[in-house]
Amino acid sequence: MPKTSGPTGANGSDNRGGIHLTLQGKGGVGKSLIASVLAQYFLKDGRDVRCIDTDPVNRTLAQYSALGVDRLNLRDEHNRIDQRSFDTLMERFLTEDGATFVVDNGASTFLPLWHYLLENNALEYLRQQERRVFVHTVITGGQALIDTLNGFNELAQTTQERNIVVWVNEYFGRVEADGKKFSEMAAYRENADKVCGAVIFTKRNQDTFGRDVEDMISAKLTFQEAITTARMPIMAKQRLKVVQRDLFEQLDRLAI
């Protein structure tokens, strides 16, 4: 998959005021985890990070107290998604200069938000205002593979930019079909020009690495909190350092 680079920034990126949206129509595939990793990475990079949780059902990202997440209510008095609520997001994107936004969206807001951005020509308008938008979507193995491929395809077929970052989540199994890896699948080959990079969430030993990551996620701790807390065993902290370093090094190679 392609790797990109930029001329400025601590990680070589020129997108320090970027907008990062996690979008995927399938729930429970790790969108909030990815949003939290992005926020932690940007904070470590010294950026002014603004995290926003728009999920009306499961406000997972908002439970990470260390990230100072804002909640955006998208439902009207009839408990329906009110697309005008997305105007609030755009207002923040366009007025909070220099901020790096990480927005976690639920499965139920995937299509409403994406259609809002397309119908309002919002991506082009943000680009004109020198605000680059990156769309982070998850491809996962196991039973959700087809659903997540469909979500990726929906985004890739409708965006006009090369702005999609694919997160290959191997937690539920290898991301393979008929012996083909994601980069060999038709869904990727047909949309490769829309993908600006990829991050592999590598499947590791479930009894050690897997349980450590699960414990960290369940407690809604950042890597730094988990690694420094007295509650974690020494070797669990070491394994979390390995996972964090792997993810951050992959992000270093992307111009985001």
Q: Is residue 70 part of a domain?
A: yes
User: Mean pLDDT throughout 182-192?
Assistant: 93
List Cβ neighbours of 25 (8 Å cut-off, separation of 6 or more): 107, 110, 111, 147, 150, 151, 154
Q: What is the CATH number of the domain that holds 197?
A: 3.40.50.300
Q: Is residue 214 part of a domain?
A: no
Residue span of the structural domain in which 169 resides: 19-204
pLDDT category of residue 16 using cuts at 50, 70 and 90 = low
DSSP helix/strand/coil, 202: coil
Q: Is residue 7 part of a domain?
A: no
Tokens (6 digits) for 111: 């299509």
Q: Is residue 4 part of a domain?
A: no
Q: Is residue 215 part of a domain?
A: no
% of the chain surpassing 90 pLDDT: 70
Tokens (6 digits) for 49: 């990070």
What's the CA gap between 105 and 114, in Å, rounded? 10
Instruction: Find, among 216, 211, 222, 223, the residue nearest to 64 by Cα.
Output: 222
- Tally of domains in the chain: 1
Quick one: pLDDT at residue 172? Answer: 75
Quick one: pLDDT at residue 44? Answer: 95
Main-chain dihedrals φ then ψ at residue 224, nearest 5 degrees:
-60, -40
Residue 118, CB half-sphere, CA atoms under 13 Å: how many? Answer: 14
Q: Is residue 218 part of a domain?
A: no
- More confident of the two residues 45 and 4: 45
Q: Is residue 239 part of a domain?
A: no
Contact yes or no for 50/42 (Cβ under 8 A) = no
Q: Is residue 234 part of a domain?
A: no
Quick one: pLDDT at residue 6? Answer: 39
pLDDT above 90: residue 191: yes
What's the CA gap between 145 and 151, in Å, rounded? 10
| DSSP secondary structure code for residue 75 in this structure | B
Instruction: Find, among 91, 85, 132, 121, the residue nearest to 105 by Cα.
Output: 85
pLDDT category of residue 203 using cuts at 50, 70 and 90 = confident
Buried b (16+ CB within 10 A) or exposed e, 198-229: bbbbebbeeeebeebbebbbeebbbbebbbee
User: What pLDDT digit, counting tens, does each position of 74-126 carry?
Assistant: 877 777 778 888 999 999 999 999 999 999 998 888 888 999 999 999 999 99
% of the chain surpassing 70 pLDDT: 94
